[in-house]
Structures are given as C-alpha cells and as structure tokens.
C-alpha cells in the first residue's frame, strides 16, 4: 500500500460529482443522513440492482453542488484530495447541468475557474453527455461544449458518454461532430451486456473506453467485438471497486482487466467515483497489485501507459514521463 501511495499516479476516469468525499459534502452543508445514504453502496452485500442504486445516489451529490459557490468549492476539494493521493495528472469529467440558480454555462465556467485557480496538479476537463437525456438536450449540451472548448482548448480536452447504461442510446453523429472540433472521445462501453451497441461504439473507434466489462467472451461478449477491441488496442479505463460494488463483476480477482493484462492490451487504473465508492487511486492500485498479481514494475508501467492514453498535449506528456522516470530512478 505504501508503494501505491508513493507512486505518482494518473487518473483518467473520475466523475466530479461522484468524487465528493464525505468531508467535502460536509463542507457543502449536506445533511448527515444524506452523506450516510451516499455511502450506502460500500455497506451493502450483493443486492440485484446495485448499478441502478449507484445512479440514484448521484442525486445527493447534485443537491450539494447546485449553486456556483458550491460547485467551485467541490471542484477545489476534489482536486486537493487527488493531489494528496499523489495523483500528478487528473482528467476530471462532469455533465454540464442547469439548476434554478445556475446555467449549464455557469456550471462549466465555475469548474474551469476552480481548475485554473489551483496550481497543485495538471487538471483537464472532459465534458459528459448523459445518455439518459433526450437528443435535443444532448445536442444543446454538445453545442455548449464546442463553444467552451474554443474558449479553453487547453483545459477542455474531451467528450464522454456516460449516465445509466440501461437507458438511452449511443448517438454517433454527435461524437463525430465533437471529434471534428478536435475533442477526444471516451465512451462508457459494455457496462451492461449489449453486444450490438458495443459493436457500434468500437467501430466508431473512440480514443478510450470506460469499464468495458462485457466485451470479452468470458463475460458474454461476442468474439467479433473482442477481436475488434483487441485489434484496435483502444485503451481501457478500469475502475475495479466501482465494478465490484455495482455488482457487474463478481470479485476483484475475476475482474475483466485480467484479459487486458494477459493479452498485453493498454489499460489504466482509475477511481470512477471515489466518494460514492469510498476509494482512492492508491487503493485501486493496491487492489490491482493484490488481486491481479501486478508487480511494482507493472504498477509503474501502468502510470506510464496512462500518460500515453491521456488527452494531455505531447509537451505535457513528455514532462509527466520525465517526472515519472526520475521518480523510478530513485524508488524502483
Ligand atoms: P457528474 O457528471 O454530475 O459530475 O457526475 C455524476 C454523473 O456521472 C452521474 O450522474 C452519471 O451520469 C455519471 N456516472 C458516474 N459514474 C458512472 C458510471 O460508473 N457509469 C456511468 N455510465 N456513468 C457514471
């Protein structure tokens, strides 16, 4: 665990509102009962609909960040906590959200302000399209994303498709448009068994995919999809605890990440929602080492490969790699 703490880490899959710790929720004046409910998933033994339950819990975080001030504070705290966990590069993602006292534009501007006003670590922003929203709302969100990307091309780096995987569809046209504007694309893919959608997503060739649970045939995926996925070598964003607690994988040991390890395919280790799942990136690295037999060297390589898969500029990647290399020379 100590090694995992000390290792400089790269976080590529963290949802802002799922990352609020109980301490941050307290600062944001969230009622104590809500904070306890927010952490419910870590206390439950397998019940069937755990993935859907996770989605109802995000409402608590959303209530806590429904104003400009609280959104600012939440972002600041989340970045500070990742920094304390020795994360040196963070890609934070969030869904632009309108509230009675805050427009979607205010929301995104506030997060950008919080990112720019800190100098602890390099932080990039990915903006999410919620697959549960109707096409009209998603298109509005996309137009805002494209506008904001023109204003802050160094911070807004990509578009993500997330939200409850049991609802909505993957609308390829929107992501083609985003890609044409120079944004990178990451898609939550195969969180539930849906071979047809997975095929459509893989054929689009996203820059990264999130979770990827039901792609390999062992987990019900089609041979064709697994071949496509491994031929394309699209980096996988792994979120071990999230998948175990949402009950989409049976245990850490049986996590589909082992297929990526065995086949030497690119993957990175992430927290997903460190608040909802009571985790840290240090813990996720530790679980990977412990349950999937990754050596210290492999964990270090994992950080390096994550840099390659990140949406940072080439110059930023080089800086991060130099930093890691210097760390390795001293500690490994
Ligand atoms: P936000 O976008 O509000 O900052 O973060 C919370 C939102 O991220 C949730 O409402 C949900 O749309 C999305 N999200 C968080 N975790 C997951 C996950 O594991 N899978 C998917 N598909 N979406 C998620």
Is the CB–ligand 1 distance for residue 248 below 6 Å? no
Q: What is the mean pLDDT of each run of 10 residues along the chain (332 residues)?
A: 96 98 96 90 70 86 97 98 98 98 98 98 98 96 98 98 95 97 98 98 98 97 98 98 93 97 97 96 98 96 98 98 96 88
Is the CB–ligand 1 distance for residue 19 below 6 Å? no
DSSP secondary structure string for all residues of 249-287: SS-STT-THHHHHHTT--EEE--B-TTTTT--HHHHHHH
Q: How far is the CA of 278 from the centre of ligand 1 (A)?
A: 15
Q: Domains along the chain?
A: 2-331 (3.20.20.140)
Is the CB–ligand 1 distance for residue 274 below 6 Å? no
Please report the pLDDT score of residue 220 as a whole number: 96
Please report the pLDDT score of residue 48 as a whole number: 64
CA-164 nearest atom, ligand 1: 22
Q: How far is the CA of 295 from the centre of ligand 1 (A)?
A: 31
Asked if residue 182 lies in contact with residue 149, where contact means CB atoms within 8 angstroms, the answer is: yes
The residue contributing the CA closest to ligand 1 atom 12 is 163
Tens of pLDDT, residues 147-186: 999 999 999 999 999 999 999 999 999 999 999 999 999 9
Is the CB–ligand 1 distance for residue 58 below 6 Å? yes
Is the CB–ligand 1 distance for residue 94 below 6 Å? yes
Is the CB–ligand 1 distance for residue 163 below 6 Å? yes
Is the CB–ligand 1 distance for residue 17 below 6 Å? yes
Tokens 């500070």, located at residue? 80
Please report the pLDDT score of residue 84 as a whole number: 98
Considering only CA atoms, which of 310, 308, 286 is closest in space to residue 12? Answer: 310
Please report the pLDDT score of residue 156 as a whole number: 98
Please report the pLDDT score of residue 56 as a whole number: 82
User: Which pTM does this prediction carry?
Assistant: 0.97
ipTM of the complex: 0.99
Catalytic positions, written as ranges: 191
Residues forming beta bridges with residue 124, ordered by sequence position = 91
Is the CB–ligand 1 distance for residue 95 below 6 Å? yes
Q: How far is the CA of 93 from the centre of ligand 1 (A)?
A: 9
Please report the pLDDT score of residue 160 as a whole number: 98
Cα(9)–Cα(80) distance, integer angstroms: 14
Tokens 């997975």, located at residue? 198
Considering only CA atoms, which of 313, 309, 304, 314 is closest in space to residue 7? Answer: 304
Residues forming beta bridges with residue 209, ordered by sequence position = 187, 236
Q: Mutation test of ligand 1: which of 15, 241, 244 has the most ligand atoms closer than 8 Å to its C-beta?
A: 15
Please report the pLDDT score of residue 13 as a whole number: 98
Is the CB–ligand 1 distance for residue 242 below 6 Å? yes
Q: How far is the CA of 322 from the centre of ligand 1 (A)?
A: 32
Cα(287)–Cα(253) distance, integer angstroms: 9
CA distances from 200 to 127, 173, 232 (A): 21, 12, 14
Q: How far is the CA of 60 from the centre of ligand 1 (A)?
A: 13
Q: Mutation test of ligand 1: which of 13, 41, 54, 55 has the most ligand atoms closer than 8 Å to its C-beta?
A: 55
CA-163 nearest atom, ligand 1: 12
Alpha helices in 168-273 (DSSP H): 172-180, 195-204, 223-232, 240-245, 257-262
Q: Mutation test of ligand 1: which of 66, 163, 211 has the most ligand atoms closer than 8 Å to its C-beta?
A: 163
DSSP class of 208: E
Please report the pLDDT score of residue 210 as a whole number: 98
Please report the pLDDT score of residue 57 as a whole number: 87
């Amino acid at each position: 665990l100590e090694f995992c703490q000390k290792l400089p880490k790269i976080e590529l899959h963290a949802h802002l509102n799922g990352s609020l710790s109980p301490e941050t929720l307290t600062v944001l004046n969230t009622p104590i009962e809500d904070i306890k409910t927010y952490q419910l998933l870590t206390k439950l033994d397998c019940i069937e609909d755990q993935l859907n339950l996770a989605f109802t819990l995000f409402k608590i975080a959303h209530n806590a960040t429904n104003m400009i001030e609280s959104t600012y504070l939440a972002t600041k705290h989340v970045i500070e906590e990742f920094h304390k966990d020795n994360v040196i590069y963070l890609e934070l993602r969030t869904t632009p959200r309108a509230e009675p006292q805050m427009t979607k534009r205010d929301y995104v501007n506030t997060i950008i302000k919080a990112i720019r006003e800190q100098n602890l670590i390099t932080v990039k922003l990915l903006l999410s399209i919620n697959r549960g929203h109707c096409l009209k709302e998603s298109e509005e969100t996309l137009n805002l994303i494209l506008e904001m990307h023109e204003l802050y091309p160094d911070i807004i780096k990509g578009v993500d498709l997330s939200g409850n995987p049991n609802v909505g569809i993957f609308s390829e046209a929107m992501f083609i448009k985003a890609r044409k504007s120079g944004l990178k694309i990451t898609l939550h893919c195969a969180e539930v068994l849906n071979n047809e959608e997975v095929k459509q997503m893989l054929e689009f060739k996203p820059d990264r995919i999130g979770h990827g649970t039901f792609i390999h045939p062992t987990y019900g995926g089609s041979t064709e999809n697994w071949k496509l996925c491994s031929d394309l070598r699209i980096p996988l964003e792994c979120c071990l605890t999230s998948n175990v607690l949402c009950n989409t994988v049976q245990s850490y040991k049986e996590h589909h990440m082992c297929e990526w390890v065995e086949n030497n395919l690119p993957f990175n280790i992430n927290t997903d929602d460190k608040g909802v799942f009571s985790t840290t990136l240090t813990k996720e690295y530790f679980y990977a080492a412990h349950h999937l037999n990754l050596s210290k060297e492999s964990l270090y390589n994992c950080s390096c490969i994550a840099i390659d898969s990140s949406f940072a500029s080439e110059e930023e990647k080089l800086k991060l790699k130099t930093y890691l290399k210097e760390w390795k020379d001293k500690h490994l």
